[in-house]
């Protein structure tokens, strides 16, 4: 089978979150199983730095958006782990410091930037890589199927190609005013509730969902939740109407990158059979965060967080429980993250109040993320909603016991034998779960068993890739 994926992130070329981990690993897992796989990505400044060996394979692809408006892009190709990455080289849109926006907000031309990505992907299909399946990820790739099925309907190039859309996070919907239609070369009729119109605007994500042949999201729990008003972000009705083509496939993780036995970023290696290296990782983590690492501190439970600072991730609950937690329990906390300033400030204030026990690093730093996974005793993820979540799965492999809210992928991947869960989105429920974990911690036998239970869980990409493969085959057979 030939599969072309379209996305706005893929590790190691461009990453702000879990989407990049998925696009960094799933294509390679499919290729290892014998499929031919391509990925279309923007040639961001960060991608250019990491893909120096990519070769230009198409110099001037002209993308017409109207009789008077066109853009030129180049396509560069890099073969990596059996996958062909096609980078859309359009400096006016992608040669920028960030992927989506900077401190003063989103880039104002994001509607055009990602329309260009989608049209360029169809150019790749026309000239370089004609797949059986086009698999689009999130709103940035949402216009691929709509272009194919409206503007290019009847073009034999695209005949018979099936579209899969994966929703990695329904909270990001690519919403723009209806005036954008003229700029992105889609017909006015797209402003229609049966197509792209969404509460008076346009939604790229909705368009991708409406025009897809099959729809997936990244856990079974989340597939159910997004059909309810509480988690549907205004799209629950649409998603209920697509229920027959909507499935949940839990993300795998890349154990060649996240493995305590081989991790190059941590102070020591360890495994379920020999956990002794973990204490060196804990000491190193404490030092990395500028906290004391004497014997008494090493005995004390250490909670780790790696997260975007966003309301999705439950920081309002953390804000409510932090002071009582620090006052009532002997515990330390290290936090790595970037995002909304209000949460960063809240965490910094906590670190000022408890300087020997709380420390925050507001940066995006993969090496430190590995250290947090390896050196913490518990990993905290009290998300309001969580489509899949990867950090809790990494935590399992590092013997770092997750404390999570039972939602979406967190609920699907953590059970009572591997972690602590709470259901109600409230500070008291979170505090209760944290107390249960802290009460269990001194019982070394029970705790070590929990660590080992988690370490033995297998979330490698093999089974998820097989589920995607079965879905693709069912579409082609239709």
Stretch that binds ligand ADP, among 76-84, 145-153, 325-333, 335-343 (CB under 6 A): 335-343
Chain-centroid distance, C-alpha 89 = 23
Position 314 contacts ligand ADP (CB under 6 A): no
How far separated are the first and last CA of the chain, in Å rounded? 15
Number of residues that bind ligand ADP (CB under 6 A): 17
CB of 363 to ligand ADP, least distance (A): 6
CB of 221 to ligand ADP, least distance (A): 14
Position 453 contacts ligand ADP (CB under 6 A): no
- Given the complex with ligand ADP, which of 88 and 388 has the nearer CB atom? 388
Taking the CA of residue 139 as centre, how many other CA atoms within 13 Å lie in the half-sphere pointing to its CB?
19
- Given the complex with ligand ADP, which of 12 and 17 has the nearer CB atom? 17
- Position with the least CB separation from ligand ADP: 18
- Given the complex with ligand ADP, which of 148 and 351 has the nearer CB atom? 351
CB of 197 to ligand ADP, least distance (A): 27
Q: With contact defined as beta carbons under 8 Å apart, do 448 and 418 qualify?
A: no
Per-residue interface string for the shown chain with ligand ADP, residues 391-430, x marking contact by CB under 6 A: x---------------------------------------
- Given the complex with ligand ADP, which of 391 and 400 has the nearer CB atom? 391
CB of 435 to ligand ADP, least distance (A): 24
- Given the complex with ligand ADP, which of 106 and 155 has the nearer CB atom? 106
Position 365 contacts ligand ADP (CB under 6 A): yes
CB of 337 to ligand ADP, least distance (A): 5
Which is nearest to 442 in space by CA: 331, 359, 334, 358?
331
Q: Do the bridges between strand 101-102 and strand 36-42 make them parallel or antiparallel, or are there none, so unpaired?
A: unpaired
Position 254 contacts ligand ADP (CB under 6 A): no
Residue 326's Cβ-count burial label (10 Å; 0-12, 13-18, 19+) is middle
Round to whole Å and give the CA distance between 18 and 4.
19
Round to whole Å and give the CA distance between 212 and 313.
29
Sign of CA dihedral 180, 184, 187, 193: negative
Q: Which of residues 195-224 bind ligand ADP (CB under 6 A)?
A: none
CB of 168 to ligand ADP, least distance (A): 7
Q: With contact defined as beta carbons under 8 Å apart, do 392 and 414 qualify?
A: yes
How many secondary structure helices (H) and strands (E) does the chain include? 19, 20
Query: Residues 6 or more apart from 146 whose CB is under 8 A from it?
Result: 186, 190, 195, 196, 207, 208, 210, 211
As beta bridge partners, residue 167 has 217
> Which pairs from 226-229 meet CB under 8 Å and 24+ separation?
226/167, 226/170
- Given the complex with ligand ADP, which of 44 and 211 has the nearer CB atom? 44
Stretch that binds ligand ADP, among 14-22, 60-68, 126-134, 172-180 (CB under 6 A): 14-22
Position 369 contacts ligand ADP (CB under 6 A): yes
- Among residues 111, 390, 430, 465, which is the contact residue for ligand ADP, using CB under 6 A? 390
Position 259 contacts ligand ADP (CB under 6 A): no
Is the backbone peptide bond immediately before 376 cis, with ω within 30 degrees of 0? Answer: no
Position 306 contacts ligand ADP (CB under 6 A): yes
Q: Which residues contribute to the site for ligand ADP (CB under 6 A)?
A: 17-18, 21, 306-308, 336-338, 364-366, 369, 388-391
């Amino acid at each position: 089978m030939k599969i072309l994926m379209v996305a706005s992130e893929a590790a190691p070329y461009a990453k702000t979150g879990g989407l990049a981990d998925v696009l960094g690993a799933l294509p390679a897992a499919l290729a290892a199983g014998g499929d031919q796989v391509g990925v279309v990505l923007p040639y961001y400044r960060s991608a250019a730095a990491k893909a120096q060996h990519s070769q230009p394979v198409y110099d001037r692809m002209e993308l017409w958006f109207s009789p008077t408006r066109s853009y030129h892009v180049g396509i560069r190709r890099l073969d990596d782990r059996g996958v062909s990455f096609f980078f859309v080289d359009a400096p006016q849109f992608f040669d920028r410091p960030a992927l989506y926006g900077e401190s003063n907000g989103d880039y104002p031309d994001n509607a055009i930037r990602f329309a260009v990505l989608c049209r360029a992907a169809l150019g790749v299909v026309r000239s370089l890589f004609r797949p059986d399946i086009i698999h689009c990820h999130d709103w940035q790739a949402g216009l691929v199927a709509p272009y194919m099925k409206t503007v290019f309907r009847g073009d034999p190039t695209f005949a018979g190609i099936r579209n899969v859309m994966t929703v990695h996070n329904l909270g990001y919907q690519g919403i723009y005013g209806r005036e954008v239609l003229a700029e992105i070369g889609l017909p006015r009729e797209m402003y229609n509730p049966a197509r792209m119109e969404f509460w008076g605007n346009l939604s790229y994500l909705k368009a991708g969902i409406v025009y897809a042949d099959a729809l997936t999201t990244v856990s079974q729990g989340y597939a159910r939740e997004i059909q309810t008003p509480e988690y549907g972000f205004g799209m629950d009705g649409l998603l209920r109407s697509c229920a027959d083509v909507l499935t949940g496939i839990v993300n795998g993780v890349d154990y060649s990158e996240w493995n305590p036995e081989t991790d190059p970023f941590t102070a020591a290696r360890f495994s379920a059979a020999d956990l002794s290296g973990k204490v060196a990782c804990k000491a190193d983590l404490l030092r990395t965060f500028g906290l004391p690492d004497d014997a008494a501190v090493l005995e004390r439970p250490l909670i780790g967080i790696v997260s975007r600072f966003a309301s999705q991730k439950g920081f309002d609950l953390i804000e409510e429980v932090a002071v009582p937690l620090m006052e009532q329990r002997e515990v330390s906390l290290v936090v790595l993250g970037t995002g909304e300033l209000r949460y960063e400030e809240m965490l910094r204030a906590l670190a000022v109040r408890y300087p020997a026990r709380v420390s925050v690093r507001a940066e995006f730093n993969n090496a430190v993320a590995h250290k947090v996974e390896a050196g913490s005793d518990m990993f905290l993820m009290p998300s309001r909603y969580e489509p899949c979540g990867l950090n809790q799965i990494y935590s399992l492999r590092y013997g770092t016991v997750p404390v999570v809210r039972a939602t979406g992928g967190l609920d699907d991947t953590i059970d009572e034998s591997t972690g602590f869960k709470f259901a109600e989105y409230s500070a008291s429920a979170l505090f209760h779960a944290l107390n249960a974990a802290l009460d269990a911690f001194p019982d070394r036998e029970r705790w070590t068993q929990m660590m080992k239970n988690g370490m033995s869980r297998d979330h490698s990409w093999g089974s998820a890739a097989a589920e995607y493969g079965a879905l693709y085959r069912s579409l082609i057979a239709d």
